[in-house]
Amino acid sequence: MKTIKYLMIGALMIGIYAPINAQEDHKAIIEQVTNIIKTQGTGTEKQVKDIFKANKKNVDVITAIGRAYLDIKDTTNAQIYADLAIARDKHYGDAYVLAGDIEAFKDNGGAASGWYEQATYFDPKNPNGYRRYAYVNSKVSPSSSVAKLEELRKHRPDYPVDIISAEIYDKAGNISKALEYYNKVDRNQMEDYQLVSFALNYFLKGEFDKSLEVAQFGITKFPANAALNRICFYNLTNQKKYEEALKYADALFNKSEKTKITESDYLYYGHAYLGMKDYDKAIEMFNKALENNSDNKQDRSDALKNLANAYTAKGDYTNAAQKYEEYLKTLDKLTASEYAGLGGIYLTQAQEAEGEEQTQAYQKAAAFYKDLAEKFPNVKDYATLWQARINSYMDPEMKTYQAKPFYEELANMLKDKADRDEIENKYLLEAYQYLGFYYYKTDDKANYTDYWNRVLALDPNNATAKQVLGK
């Protein structure tokens, strides 16, 4: 029940509810008695009693006395005056609200809810009871809370039921219902934090275009709002509109008020620069994400992986491999797919290098795929395929035939497999074609005829096989 207490105290502190419906002519008295109670000076009790006696028929004043006592956490006296106010006028809703707030303060959510319900019954046009009821029940049953607010709409069609309902569903984590109610509200009437929540919900649903639309509208009203600029920046990055995204990044970092830059901001900054092919800037931002990491393992992992991507794109393969290896260490469970990314870096390096540097890079890549096969036997066919290809790349004119044992191993792995999928058939076809060329070049007609017939069995329209076999 602590959540109920937290909700209620928080709501009271930020002024969601009006404390009382005081009449203007009672305002001075209410201010006087409130100051007396909160000051807690000498003779406070007597002063309060004197004011009460002079206003014992005034439920506004009586309730205000109780409210002031609750503000200083004196629930005993608060309850006394709540009871007196109810006894004086059973149709005065704010007295029941006060009684409910007392129970909420004592962490009695059920009792509080009962008092708020009475407030709505005896004073149906007073919104305070409905709102209190809605908020105290919002965690347990947001739908019931909203249903109670819909009752208020019947009595007070002017009251902002939709935005309150949106916030209730928002806090309950029901994004779809929150969005339903946010969309009923005139955006021009929304506060900045409401527009932020509205846009953020669309973002969390992956509807980046709608999230961007709401956030951009918000910025027309609140141009220096950090959260709105951040949401625009993130949405545009996700949409790969990097140049525009960087404009909002600048607004977030340099033109927003009360901005607290996070590691996620640096990550998105890095993604945007990476998309713009500004690799040095991307590397700078990903490194800042690491520097500002607050033990967030996922963000650290993301930063390292993208550093590897940026270094690869830049052609700095040494740093790319180093960062990717660091990235792999952040994973709770290493998968073949993730591990294979390191091989991709070695291959890219080899394909862009020349001479001895290229040879060494290919050898490193081949060694990696051998290791991949040993670590992950379930992808041995894939790893063997790449060992075969790499050795074929190193022997483009088929002088040493160093790829042959790997293609043979691959063929033996797959040829008798009954449930080969389309990808495995492609692997096998590649192996048969290489072996067909090998035996053709070595003038072994029996074997090359066999292998090219195997090629045709997998690919009946293969032009090379038909030519070699004279078909």
> Residue 25: what pLDDT?
57
Domain 395-471 grouped into CATH 1.25.40 = yes
> Residue 27: what pLDDT?
85
| Distance of alpha carbon 174 from alpha carbon 371, whole angstroms | 47
**pLDDT above 50 for 412:** yes
Confidence band, pLDDT 50/70/90 cuts, at residue 12: very low
| Distance of alpha carbon 85 from alpha carbon 55, whole angstroms | 11
- The pLDDT of 179-200, averaged and rounded, is 97
pLDDT tens string 20-73: 344 445 788 888 888 888 888 777 888 989 888 989 899 999 999 999 999 999
Range ranked top by mean pLDDT from 2-6, 153-157, 269-273? 269-273
Contact 34, 64 (CB under 8 A): yes
Helix, strand or coil for residue 244?
helix
Q: In 3D, which of 77, 88, 104, 81 has the Cα closest to residue 16?
A: 104
Which helix (H) or strand (E) segment is 292 a member of? none
Q: Where are the domains of the chain?
A: 1-136, 395-471
- The pLDDT of 241-253, averaged and rounded, is 97
- CA distances 368 to 134, 200, 345, 423, Å, are 61, 43, 11, 22
**pLDDT above 70 for 8:** no
Q: Write phi, then psi, for 225 (nearest 5 degrees).
A: -75, 120
- Mean pLDDT, rounded, of the chain: 91
Contact 29, 122 (CB under 8 A): no
- The pLDDT of 1-22, averaged and rounded, is 38
Q: Write phi, then psi, for 257 (nearest 5 degrees).
A: -90, 145
- The pLDDT of 364-387, averaged and rounded, is 96
> Residue 13: what pLDDT?
32
| Distance of alpha carbon 298 from alpha carbon 285, whole angstroms | 16
pLDDT tens string 262-283: 999 999 999 999 999 999 999 9
Identical fold, 1-136 and 395-471: yes
- The pLDDT of 320-343, averaged and rounded, is 95
Confidence band, pLDDT 50/70/90 cuts, at residue 160: very high
> Residue 34: what pLDDT?
86
pLDDT tens string 416-462: 998 999 999 999 999 999 999 999 999 999 999 999 999 999 999 99
Kindly report the pTM of this predicted structure.
0.78
- The pLDDT of 218-243, averaged and rounded, is 98
**pLDDT above 80 for 201:** yes
Strand ranges (DSSP E) for 44-191? none
CATH number at 1-136: 1.25.40.10
Tell me whether residue 470 is exposed, middle or buried, using C-beta atoms within 10 angstroms of its C-beta: 0 to 12, 13 to 18, 19 or more. exposed
**pLDDT above 50 for 407:** yes
> Residue 288: what pLDDT?
96
**Beta partners for residue 257, in sequence order:** 225
> Residue 471: what pLDDT?
80
